[in-house]
Structures are given as structure tokens and as C-alpha cells.
Amino acid sequence: MIKQLALVGLGGAAGSILRFLISVYSIKWFPTTSFPLGTFIVNIFGSLLLGVIMGYVLKTETNTEQLRLLIGIGFCGGFTTFSTFAYENISMIQQNNYSQFLLYAAVSLIVGLLAILLGVWLSKSFI
């Protein structure tokens, strides 16, 4: 159990740090946008990465418990953020920015699902 906790913790720490850096730099690189680009980027990339991992697991049918714990649960869990996504949506609604809310919520959902599918396809096709 200690080894499993260490894998999840290590992956989660790395994911959280990378999420923070992407959020900070997305604001520096695109200071004039009110679109929550940092959260969007991490959630879509995290979905793609999780799709690749799941596709690999399904393709190889081997025991990849360590990979699942380190990257699937740890890294992707620390990297992606549903709570921030939800908060940003509520903020847009409270600011009466309904068009941006609808765009952000719909595009995040659709592109996130497509990223999972793409990741599964990539791993089954090329890994």
C-alpha cells in the first residue's frame, strides 16, 4: 500500500505543479483574454493523456497498475481540475457572461471527450 500511495502522490505532485505553471504562463502569454485558457489547456491535455493510458492498458492487456497509479490517477488527477472549471463557469454566470459560459462549457465537454477518444486511438494505433 505504501508503494501505491507513493506512486499516486508523486504523480499528483508533478501534475499539480505543471497545472500551476501552465495557469501562470497562460495568463502571461495571453493577458487580454478573459477565457480561462489555463484550465482549458490542462483539462484537454489531461483527457488526451488519460485516453492514451487507457488505450495502452486496453491494447496490451498487461498489468500496468503502476502506470495507472502514477499517471492515470496521480498525474492526471493532480493536473486536471474539475473544481476550477466549475468555479470559472459559475463566475461567468454571475458576471452575466452567458455566451462565454456556454462556449467554455460546451467546448470543454466536447473537446475533452474527443481528446479521450483521440488518446485511445493513438495508443492503440501507434504504441
Please indicate if the annotation marks 77 as binding a ligand.
Answer: yes
Indicate whether 62 pLDDT > 70: no
Indicate whether 19 pLDDT > 70: yes
Indicate whether 127 pLDDT > 80: no
Mean of the per-residue pLDDT values of the chain: 93
Indicate whether 53 pLDDT > 70: yes
Please indicate if the annotation marks 80 as binding a ligand.
Answer: yes
Q: How far is CA 43 from CA 12, 29, 48, 125, in A?
A: 14, 18, 9, 23
Residue spans of the domains in the chain: they are 2-126
Q: How far is CA 99 from CA 15, 28, 34, in A?
A: 30, 24, 12
